[in-house]
């Protein structure tokens, strides 16, 4: 066996892979590769090819995660896993999630090419559907790995009536054997990700060591009034569902600003989906649907806000003379604390790579927040242009991606020595 060389990443190959994956997008709406679509599958095929070319054993688990694995020298040791997600939001970026999957592949390649045989197995995981999917659920694959993908979720449907369980089968998952996706054999889960915020760029710091990840609760509210003619329906007789939605949205903003300013913990709330039917300029809307995205470092703040949202949306329905037809929790993830030993190892690795690093909290949700339920989990942030994300302008430089990937590699090598 050749003498092992020091494992080192190939920055050009890393960047080429990231750009290549970015070309797999809905034409005219870059960058869009929504989970469970043919484009997503094309992206998966690309990733599978890269994993197999790197000599990893590749499988799809029952929860639809794409997993590549390199065995270690000590059979039976738990695996050191790295990964993120390859699906995007509509008209999103080329880095959110994708950078973490591509970086993990490059780290596995570098280890294998160096001839280094680690003690622990190493896994690369592309977690299925981290972004809120057409079914309304996010982090589907990582929920499956931590036994939080239940029958009610598998029965969720999309706008066309497709059931999540069937969509899972279509990507190679197996809802009947979903329990087999649960992981109890991981020593660590590491996720490299763009910061999706402005701090690292503003501070000119290349590495963020994530301290904690917010919990996210998403609530769907439907109002039902009466569609009517915009010209002949007198104002005092209208039952305008969009009016109820607008009144609710205004209260959401007022109360979220107050909670965020109170300094009791990180808090934000957003309405990114507001639909009105039938959607004619000369029709008083008969129906309105909003989805509220609530995030906090403290579940008690989320609970307090949700109770207020319940009361406010009822009052808005009364004011608009409509019915509040639904108030449903679509998903509810708890905040996660990143593992102290992994964070210390990331800092040591950054130092060894000559990269400055700072602690930073994550206002974005991530698969690592779920993986923390079954193993020590931590994240490495890299800077992104003006903190932009979930938009085509999302960008990190080849140097920023390479620096983060080198730190990820060094962290894996050090954890292999430090962990049992
Ligand atoms: O929404 C989020 O925080 C993540 O980017 N999916
Ligand atoms: Mn995202
Ligand atoms: Mn992401």
Task: Give the residue from 296, 409, 390, 307 showing the smallest Cα distance to 87.
Answer: 390
Contact 381, 204 (CB under 8 A): no
For 167-176, what is each residue's pLDDT tens digit?
999 999 999 9
At residue 5, does pLDDT exceed 80?
A: no
Cβ of 140 less than 6 Å from ligand 1 = no
How many Å lie between the centroid of ligand 2 and the Cα of residue 233? 42
How many Å lie between the centroid of ligand 1 and the Cα of residue 97? 9
Instruction: Tell me the pairing of strands 186-194 and 377-382.
Output: parallel
Tell the residue nearest (CA) to atom 6 of ligand 1: 131
Distances (CA, A) of 156 to 137, 142, 205, 222, 365: 8, 17, 42, 17, 21
Peptide bond into 211 cis (omega under 30): no
pLDDT band at 334 (very low <50, low <70, confident <90, very high): confident
Q: Which residues pair with 328 in a beta bridge?
A: 220
At residue 2, does pLDDT exceed 80?
A: no
Question: What 8-state DSSP symbol labels residue 312?
Answer: H
Cβ of 132 less than 6 Å from ligand 1 = no
Cβ of 64 less than 6 Å from ligand 1 = no
pLDDT of residue 7: 84
Q: Which atom of ligand 1 is nearest to the CA of 390?
A: 5
Task: Give the residue from 183, 132, 180 showing the smallest Cα distance to 153.
Answer: 132
At residue 403, does pLDDT exceed 90?
A: yes
Sign of the torsion angle spanned by Cα atoms 46, 368, 330, 93:
negative
For 19-42, what is each residue's pLDDT tens digit?
999 999 999 999 999 999 999 999
Q: What is the CA radius of gyration of the chain?
A: 23
Average pLDDT on 391-420 reads 97
Contact 122, 82 (CB under 8 A): yes
Average pLDDT on 227-239 reads 98
Q: How many CA atoms lie within 13 A of 379 on its CB side?
A: 34
Which one of 94, 133, 196 would you pick to mutate in the ligand 1 pocket, going by the greatest count of ligand atoms within 8 A of its CB? 196
**Ligand lying closest to the C-alpha of residue 362:** 1
**Ligand lying closest to the C-alpha of residue 89:** 2
Sign of the torsion angle spanned by Cα atoms 207, 213, 214, 217:
positive
Cβ of 47 less than 6 Å from ligand 1 = no
Per DSSP, the residues of 251-266 read: HHHHHHHHHHHHTSS-
The pair phi, psi for residue 126, each rounded to 5°, is: -95, 105
Query: Which secondary structure element, helix H or strand E, spans residue 317, and what is its range?
Result: helix 299-319
**Ligand lying closest to the C-alpha of residue 86:** 3
Q: What is the mean pLDDT of the chain?
A: 97
Above pLDDT 70, what percent of the chain? Answer: 99
Tell the residue nearest (CA) to atom 4 of ligand 1: 365
Q: Which atom of ligand 1 is nearest to the CA of 196?
A: 5
For 269-288, what is each residue's pLDDT tens digit?
999 999 999 999 999 999 99
Query: What is the Cα–Cα distance from 252 to 420, expressed in whole angstroms?
Result: 48
pLDDT of residue 420: 85
Q: Which atom of ligand 1 is nearest to the CA of 295?
A: 3
Query: What is the Cα–Cα distance from 377 to 386, expressed in whole angstroms?
Result: 27
How many Å lie between the centroid of ligand 3 and the Cα of residue 153? 21
Report residue 386 as tokens: 């003006």
Cβ of 131 less than 6 Å from ligand 1 = yes
pLDDT of residue 3: 67
Q: Which atom of ligand 1 is nearest to the CA of 132?
A: 6
Q: Which residues pair with 69 in a beta bridge?
A: 57, 123
Which one of 132, 363, 390 would you pick to mutate in the ligand 1 pocket, going by the greatest count of ligand atoms within 8 A of its CB? 390
Query: Which secondary structure element, helix H or strand E, spans residue 134, and what is its range?
Result: none
Which one of 210, 365, 370, 389 would you pick to mutate in the ligand 1 pocket, going by the greatest count of ligand atoms within 8 A of its CB? 365
Query: What is the Cα–Cα distance from 72 to 76, expressed in whole angstroms?
Result: 9
Cβ of 365 less than 6 Å from ligand 1 = yes
List Cβ neighbours of 221 (8 Å cut-off, separation of 6 or more).
245, 248, 289, 290, 291, 292, 309, 313, 324, 326, 327, 328
Question: What 8-state DSSP symbol labels residue 3?
Answer: P
| Residues across the chain | 420
Query: What is the Cα–Cα distance from 225 to 239, expressed in whole angstroms?
Result: 5
Query: What pTM value is reported for the model?
Result: 0.89
Nearest 5 degrees, angle CA 115-CA 121-CA 122? 80
Q: Which residues pair with 324 in a beta bridge?
A: 223
Cβ of 93 less than 6 Å from ligand 1 = no
pLDDT of residue 351: 98
CA 14 to chain CA centroid, Å, is: 21
CATH architecture, domain 215-333: 2-Layer Sandwich (3.30)
User: Which residues are placed with Cβ below 5 angstroms of ligand 2, an ion?
Assistant: 96
How many Å lie between the centroid of ligand 3 and the Cα of residue 364? 7
| Topology, domain 11-214+335-418 | Aminopeptidase (3.40.630)
The pair phi, psi for residue 397, each rounded to 5°, is: -80, 160
Edge-first strand listing for the sheet containing 215-224: 267-277, 287-296, 215-224, 323-332
Query: What is the Cα–Cα distance from 376 to 186, expressed in whole angstroms?
Result: 8
Tokens 């009947």, located at residue: 176
For 143-188, what is each residue's pLDDT tens digit?
999 999 999 999 999 999 999 999 999 999 999 999 999 999 999 9
For 347-400, what is each residue's pLDDT tens digit?
999 999 999 999 999 999 999 999 999 999 999 999 999 999 999 999 999 999
pLDDT of residue 265: 87
Cβ of 39 less than 6 Å from ligand 1 = no
At residue 137, does pLDDT exceed 60?
A: yes
Contact 207, 355 (CB under 8 A): yes
pLDDT of residue 329: 96
pLDDT of residue 184: 97
Report domain extents, the chain: 11-214+335-418, 215-333
Query: What is the Cα–Cα distance from 186 to 123, expressed in whole angstroms?
Result: 9
Cβ of 394 less than 6 Å from ligand 1 = no
Cβ of 383 less than 6 Å from ligand 1 = no
Distances (CA, A) of 319 to 137, 228, 286, 371, 401: 31, 18, 15, 43, 51
SS3 content of the chain, % helix, strand, coil (to 5): 40, 25, 40
Cβ of 130 less than 6 Å from ligand 1 = yes
Cβ of 195 less than 6 Å from ligand 1 = no
Query: What is the Cα–Cα distance from 31 to 353, expressed in whole angstroms?
Result: 32
pLDDT of residue 53: 97
């Amino acid at each position: 066996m050749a003498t092992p060389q020091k494992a080192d990443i190939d920055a050009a190959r890393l960047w080429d892979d990231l750009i290549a994956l970015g070309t797999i997008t809905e034409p005219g709406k870059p960058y869009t590769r929504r989970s469970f679509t043919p484009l997503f599958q094309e992206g998966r095929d690309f990733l599978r090819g890269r994993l197999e070319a790197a000599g990893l054993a590749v499988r799809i688990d029952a929860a639809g995660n794409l997993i590549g694995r390199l065995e270690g020298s000590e059979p039976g040791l738990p695996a050191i896993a790295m990964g993120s997600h390859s699906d995007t939001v509509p008209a999103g970026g080329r880095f959110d999630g994708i950078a973490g999957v591509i970086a993990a592949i490059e780290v596995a390649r570098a280890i294998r090419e160096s001839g280094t045989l680690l003690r622990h197995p190493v896994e690369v995981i592309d977690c299925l559907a981290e972004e809120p999917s057409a079914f309304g659920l996010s982090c589907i694959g990582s929920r499956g790995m931590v036994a939080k993908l239940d029958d009610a979720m598998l029965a969720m449907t999309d706008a066309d009536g497709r059931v999540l369980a069937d969509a899972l089968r279509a990507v190679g998952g197996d809802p009947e054997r979903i329990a087999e996706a649960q992981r109890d054999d991981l020593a660590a889960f590491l996720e490299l990700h763009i910061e999706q915020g402005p701090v690292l760029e503003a501070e000119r710091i290349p590495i963020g060591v994530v301290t904690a990840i917010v919990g996210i609760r998403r609530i769907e509210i439907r109002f039902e009034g009466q569609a009517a003619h915009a010209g002949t329906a007198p104002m005092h007789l209208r039952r305008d569902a969009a009016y109820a939605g607008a009144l609710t949205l205004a209260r959401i903003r007022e109360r979220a600003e107050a909670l965020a300013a109170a300094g009791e913990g990180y808090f934000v709330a957003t309405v990114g989906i507001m639909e009105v039917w039938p959607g004619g300029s000369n029709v008083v809307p008969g129906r309105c649907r909003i989805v509220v995205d609530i995030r906090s470092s403290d579940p008690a703040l989320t609970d307090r806000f949700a109770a207020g949202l319940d009361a406010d949306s009822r009052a808005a329905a009364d004011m608009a003379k409509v019915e509040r037809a639904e108030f449903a929790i679509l998903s509810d993830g708890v905040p996660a604390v990143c593992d102290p030993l992994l964070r210390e190892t990331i800092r040591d690795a950054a130092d060894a790579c000559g990269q400055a690093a700072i602690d930073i909290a994550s206002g974005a949700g991530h698969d690592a927040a779920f993986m923390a339920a079954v193993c020590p989990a931590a994240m490495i942030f890299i800077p992104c242009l003006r903190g932009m994300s979930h938009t085509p302008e999302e960008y990190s430089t080849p140097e920023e991606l390479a620096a983060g990937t080198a730190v990820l590699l060094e962290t894996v090598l050090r954890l292999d020595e430090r962990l049992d």
